[in-house]
Structures are given as structure tokens and as C-alpha cells.
Amino acid sequence: MAETLRTIEIECLRFNPESDTAPSYQTYSVPFTDDMSVLQGLQYIKDELDGSLSFRWSCRMAICGSCGSMINGVPQLSCHTFLRDYHPGKLRIEPLNHFPILRDLAIDQTDFVRNKLPAVKPYIIPKESQALAQGEFLQTPREMHKYYHYSECINCLLCYAACPQYGLDSKFTGPAAIALMQRYNADSRDAGRAQRMDLANSDHGVWGCTLVGYCSEVCPKGVDPAHAVNQNKVASTLDYFLRFLRPNGDKR
């Protein structure tokens, strides 16, 4: 038997900085079945009702992190959220909070990509160079367990949209970047912790966090960036006191 088709009203924020003075909202009536995601609803609008609507998407499987948006005021992946859960009410979709709007639901990610990510050096800095012929840098399962869940971050930026501190101060390094900082600091193959501590200790590092914890609530991959921030606060505190015991400010 064919699945029953219902209709839901989707209200989308519309804004083109090149021509509009302020954002506005446009409502569309979208037919849906129980297996349709919010992203599929947006695609229906784009394909059948209004080809001018702009939004990002790629994998449709909660892997790429491209389709994040504010769905009834909550930062979520639109491919991982279903229209059936909002019917019969109206659904409002907006771009992620705290980011400039490029157009409609698409945000400008420049601050995160060019500033926040590079600042935490999100790559392994080995203790010493090793030729390929010398083999792999091996780890035990226990060593990998210390950082693995932080490596599951997909850079969807939902945590930044949820973070009130980033909304108040865009210089704050932010939850996803700090989680990646912890991912590499906890990696037994990495020796770059000292290079990352200056950022962690700064006013815009871990001490900028006000411990709201909403970043971890909205994370679709269970990365728990709030815990990463707390771990780095402990490391920052130890780093501060150990400086008095080390000659010449050595931060090893």
C-alpha cells in the first residue's frame, strides 16, 4: 500500500546581502512521507517550488557536516532530522547562528576554516622525523582510545551555533577547534602539545569557555567538545604552575 502523503509548511529565511537590506521569511507547502528528512524537504523546494533557494548539502548521511542549520531554533543537521517530527506544526529553517550569511541558509565559514582550525595545528607533529623505510608509528588500542572520539568531529559547526561565548566574542577559539586540539594532544604519536598551549592559555583559548555545555548536546557525532575544553583547562592550569619549576620557561 502506498505511503500516505501529508503536507507541512516550511518557513525559510531568505537573504541576499547583495540586494536585500534585511532577512525575510518565505513559506512553502511541502508534501512529505514519514521517511523524508528536512534536507529532502529543502530539496523539494529547490527542485519543484523555488530554484533560487540556497543551502548546502553533500553526503545526506550525517558524515560531511555540510547541511547544518537552525531547525526551529536548534542547531541540527537537516539530513539527520525528519519532517514527521514537526508535523502538523510549521517548520522554520534558518542559517546557523553566529555566522555571516552568504545567501539564504548558506553561511560564511571563513573564520573557522582560515582562523580557528589552523590555530590549533590539527595535525600530528612527530617527536622526530622518521623515514618511511623505518616503518609505522604504532599505537595500542588503549592509546588510540584516548583521542578517537574527538577525531570523529565532522566540522559541521553546530557547536559554534550553540555556543553563546562564540556569539559574544568571535575571537574565542570555540568548541570544535578545541576538541581537535585535544585530539592531537592526546595522541601518543604527537609532540606538538607545547606549540598549542600558548593558544590554549590565552584569553581566547579554553578560558573563554563559560561551561554552558550546549555544544556537546547538539553534536551529532557524540564528540563532547565541552569535555575537551575541560581537559584542556586542566592541562592549562598544570602548564601554568609547572612553568615555575622549569628552567627558562621550558614547556615540555
Report yes or no on 171 lying in a domain: yes
- CATH number assigned to the domain comprising residue 182: 1.10.1060.10
With a pLDDT cut of 70, the percent of the chain lying above it is 96
| Nearest alpha-carbon partner for 12 in 54, 47, 60, 51 | 54
102 and 20 co-located in one domain: yes
92 and 196 co-located in one domain: no
169 and 235 co-located in one domain: yes
> How far is residue 194 from each of residues 115, 138, 162, 198, 227, measured CA to CA in Å?
19, 22, 29, 8, 20
Across 163-177, 186-200, 229-243, least confident range: 229-243
Q: Measured over all CA atoms, what is the biggest interatomic distance in the chain, rounded to whole angstroms? A: 77
pLDDT tens-digit profile of 87-126?
A: 999 999 999 999 999 999 999 999 999 999 999 999 999 9
What average pLDDT does the structure give for the chain?
A: 93
pLDDT tens-digit profile of 32-71?
A: 999 999 999 999 999 999 999 999 999 999 999 999 999 9
173 and 238 co-located in one domain: yes
245 and 166 co-located in one domain: yes
**Rounded Cα distance, 37 and 43, in Å:** 10
pLDDT tens-digit profile of 203-236?
A: 899 999 999 999 999 999 999 999 999 999 998 8
The pLDDT assigned to 142 comes to 96
124 and 155 co-located in one domain: yes
Q: Indicate yes or no: pTM above 0.75.
A: yes
Domain C-terminal end among 73, 88, 107: 107
Say how many C-beta atoms besides its own lie within 10 A of residue 167's C-beta.
14
56 and 140 co-located in one domain: no
227 and 240 co-located in one domain: yes
The mean pLDDT of 70-96, rounded to a whole number, is 97
Residue 249 confidence (pLDDT) above 60 = no
Report yes or no on 116 lying in a domain: yes
Cβ–Cβ under 8 Å, residues 216 and 225? yes
The pLDDT assigned to 163 comes to 97
H or E stretch at 241: helix 225-242
26 and 56 co-located in one domain: yes
The pLDDT assigned to 80 comes to 96
Number of domains in the chain: 2
The pLDDT assigned to 236 comes to 87
Cβ–Cβ under 8 Å, residues 97 and 161? yes
93 and 164 co-located in one domain: no
Pairing of strands 24-32, 68-71: unpaired
Domain that holds residue 60: 6-107
172 and 60 co-located in one domain: no
Residue 79 confidence (pLDDT) above 50 = yes
118 and 230 co-located in one domain: yes
The pLDDT assigned to 1 comes to 39
Residue 12 confidence (pLDDT) above 90 = yes
Residue 74 neighbours by CB under 8 Å, 6+ apart: 218
